[in-house]
Amino acid sequence: MFDVTLSALAAQVFTGLVLGMIFVLLAIGLSLIFGLMTVVNFAHGSLFMLGAYFGVFIFGLTRNFWLSLVVAPLMVGALGLVIERFLIRRLYGRSPDDPLLLTFGLSLIIVEAARLIWGKIGLTLDPPRVLAGGANLGFMTFPVYRLFVIAITAAVLVAIWFFLERTNVGLIIRAGSRDPLMVRALGIDLSRIWLLVFGIGTALAGLAGILAGPMRGVYAEMGVTMVIESFVVVVVGGMGSLIGAVVAGVLMGQVVGLTTFFAPALAEIMVFVAMAVVLLVRPSGLFGEAGLLE
Amino acid sequence: MGMRGSLRSAVDWVGAHPVSAFFVFFAVFPFLVPYKALATQVLIFGLFALGFNLLYGYTGLLSFGHAAYYGLGAYGTGIVLAKLHLTSLWGAIGAGLLLAGLGGAVIGFFCLRRRGIYFAMLTLAFAQLLYFVGFHLANWTGGDDGLRGIPQLKLGLPGLTLSLESPLGFYYFSFVLVVIAVAVLKRILDSPFGAVLQAIRENSDRAVACGYDINRVKLLSFVFSAMFAGLAGSLDALRLTVVPIESLYWTTSGQVVMMTLLGGAGTFFGPFVGAATFLVLEDRLSAFTESWPLVIGAIFSAFVLFLPRGIWGTLMGGFHGRQSA
């Protein structure tokens, strides 16, 4: 009896970890964009949803999950580039509230357009046969696809770390989020960097969307609560801190996973309670610097 | 003089006596719109937007979670009438106001720990928390089905009983309360406290340097704003005799943001202009297409990009521009 409970608990910890991975991908994109551009992208959740729908679309054309996994995030990233270049760019120099308001309007448009194009009834996205079924981990069996989500997120995190820490562009991004004026004084055109970072951040949202599709289903409203929970993750981790986004994402995944196990009715609420506690104890978030970008 | 001269003097009169102008216009408003229910909706959502505007337009704090206070006002009134079975109209409205004010004080305390863009995200997160609490406390709130069974009350005044069942009766009942709220807002804005609010919006560091305890001022503004929103929620509960769970949902917060910005944030009449514009657009568009949120989203985005001062702000800016020219 005890063993059964224990393995159910272990499964829940793993499920929480998988949810945490989706949070991390969303929060890193939000945090990158915010850290460099002080733009809060409210449309992040609707781009997450588009990633899943684009995945279904590409899969329908090619019957190739792997191709969809690569192309769908790129399509979302391309849309992100258009949004930054032609809309958000007009708002630089205005109040930081304005990009938030604009992307809120965009999120309404995107969600409604998705309903119009793909209908109100949700779609499904099946993982490839290699990733179907369960893996026996010794103490429990766990869906292979979910293990894959954990692995691919870890790989993406390593790639982002390498990009930011070991490449010249990464150096400019880090410098740009610390002191944009100085970077520009050195003769670097930051507007191209902003465009690139917005594209990367939104592509990560798209990747999170197509990864979440086979687990949660694909529907127009799938990004709505995700974006709010990702905001919470970013606030808990500390705005603009990537390590904070990773730690807080994993932590919040566990908060949801474990609350679902012990008290299902409280699962959605605990995320916000955890946020309130962090705000009381450390107002700038776990890894945030006080007063940064306020 | 001529047409333009008399138009300008009319505009000047409205600017100098906004509460009287409000009173005159909304006294005849139900006869200017296609149906009375729309007029009442404009009043109530205008009041909701007025509360939001106090915080965003005048104090410079963007709340993305004002559904919380609108919902608390609605549930406060609804629970007193439908669950506690009290029959006092004023008691029910008072309960809504009190609950919204308390909610504003507690959530405001947390959210004001962070400034700027964090503040917007925190207000949204706390409103979403309240939504889930409302969803699960089904014994009190009716959960997903909404709170039903709010009786239609009569307004008892000394020597006179008015039925609130007719649309026009309810309109004028709301009208009196909203006029009082508008007068209270005017009083707040004209007070030294109101001046500090606007100083915080313009330059909060300088307000601190002038010796103002800006956190206390912001919290008070937050609570006032929440109570205006709560009164709107309370009136809407009485109007609909039901409180849908969506009252607390983030879409309601989004609506009040859109209404205020469409009308003109930081202007006195902007919230009502915006509420009327939004509700008429919704009414007309939804007759044509199910995808009306797409059109409203596009209009709102265009306003953020090209007309950030909103309809009323742009009109008044035009007048002032001509005056100075």
Residue A189 and residue A196 in contact, taking contact as beta carbons nearer than 8 Å: no
String of b and e for A122-138 (b: at least 16 CB within 10 Å)? ebebebbeebeeeeeee
pLDDT in the model for residue A136: 82
- Look at residue B92 in the predicted model and tell me its pLDDT: 95
| Beta bridge partners of residue A163, listed in sequence order | none
Q: Do A272 and B124 touch (CB under 8 A)?
A: no
- Torsion, Cα B111 A240 A275 A270, to 10 degrees, reads 140
In the numeric block, which tokens belong to residue B163?
């039925």
Q: What is the pLDDT of residues B39-71, one digit of tens each?
A: 999 999 999 999 999 999 999 999 999 999 999
Angstroms from B290 CA to nearest CA on chain A:
9
A280 token code pair: 């009381």
Nearby residues of A64 by Cβ (< 8 Å), 6 or more positions away:
A58
ipTM, interface predicted TM-score of the complex = 0.92
B321 pLDDT higher than 90: no
Q: What is the largest CA-CA distance in chain A?
A: 67
For testing the chain A interface, which of B205, B304, B307, B309 should be mutated: the one with the most A CBs within 10 Å? B304
- Helix ranges restricted to H, chain B: 2-16, 18-28, 36-53, 67-82, 89-111, 116-136, 138-141, 167-190, 192-202, 204-209, 214-240, 250-263, 270-288, 292-306, 310-324
Nearest to A105 among B116, B136, B300 (CB): B300
Mutation choice for B interface testing from A36, A41, A89, A97 by most B CBs within 10 A: A97
Q: How far apart are the first and last CA of chain B?
A: 16
Whole-number pLDDT of residue B319: 63
Give the global pTM. 0.93
Strand partners, A17: none
B250 contacts chain A (CB < 8 A): yes
Q: B14 and chain A: CB distance < 8 Å anywhere? A: no
pLDDT in tens, B168-198: 889 999 999 999 999 999 999 999 999 999 9
Residues of B in contact with A82 (CB under 8 A): none
pLDDT of residue B263: 97
Residues constituting chain B: 325
Residue B285 touches partner A, C-beta closer than 8 Å: no
Q: What is the pLDDT of residue B159?
A: 67
Q: Which residue of A has its CA nearest to B119?
A: A294
Interface check B224 vs A, CB under 8 A:
no
For residue B1, pLDDT beyond 60: no
Best B62, B63, B128, B202 residue to mutate vs chain A (most A CBs within 10 Å)? B128
| Per-residue confidence in pLDDT tens, chain A, 294 aa | 456 678 888 888 999 999 999 999 999 999 999 888 889 999 999 999 999 999 999 999 999 999 999 999 999 999 999 999 999 999 988 888 999 999 999 999 999 999 999 999 999 998 888 888 888 877 778 899 999 999 999 999 999 999 999 999 999 998 888 888 898 899 998 899 999 999 999 999 999 999 999 999 999 999 988 999 999 999 899 887 889 999 999 999 999 999 988 888 888 889 988 888 888 788 888 887 754 444
CB atoms closer than 10 angstroms to residue B282:
16
Q: What pLDDT, on a 0 to 100 scale, did the predictor assign at position A266?
A: 87
Q: Rounded distance, CA A21 to CA A110, Å?
A: 24
Residue pair A202/A46 in contact (Cβ under 8 Å)? The answer is no
Verify whether the Cβ–Cβ distance A269 to B126 is below 8 Å: no
**Nearby residues of A262 by Cβ (< 8 Å), 6 or more positions away:** none
A96 touches chain B (CB under 8 A): yes
pLDDT in the model for residue A2: 53
Q: Which residue has the tokens 């989004």?
A: B254
Query: What is the fold, at CATH topology level, of the domain defined by B2-324?
Result: ABC transporter involved in vitamin B12 uptake, BtuC (1.10.3470)
* Token output for B198: 């606007």
Residues of A with Cβ-Cβ distance to B300 under 8 angstroms: 101, 104-105, 108
Task: Name the residue facing A272 among B120, B128, B254 (closest C-beta).
Answer: B128
pLDDT at residue B325, as a whole number: 33
DSSP string, A44-95: HHHHHHHHHHHHHHHHHHH--HHHHHHHHHHHHHHHHHHHHHHTGGGGTTS-
pLDDT tens figures, B84-110: 988 889 999 999 999 999 999 999 998
Tokens of B228: 């205006």
Interface membership of B113 toward A (CB under 8 Å):
yes
Residues in chain B within 8 Å Cβ distance of A116: 291, 294
Which of A96, A239, A272 is nearest residue B126 as measured by Cβ atoms?
A272
Residues of A in contact with B204 (CB under 8 A): none
**A108 to chain B: which residues are within 8 Å by CB?**
254, 293-294, 296-297, 300
Q: Which residues contact B313 (CB under 8 A, 6 or more apart)?
A: B264, B265, B266, B267, B270
For the record, the structure tokens of B289 come out as 């297409």
Q: Is A101 on the interface with B (CB under 8 A)?
A: yes
In this predicted structure, the answer to whether residue B324 has a pLDDT above a threshold of 80 is no
Query: What residues pair up with A200 in beta bridges, in sequence order?
Result: none
| Gap between the Cα atoms of B57 and B44, Å rounded | 19
Q: Can you tell me the mean pLDDT for B269-296?
A: 94
What gap in Å lies between CA A148 and CA A212, rounded to an integer? Answer: 12
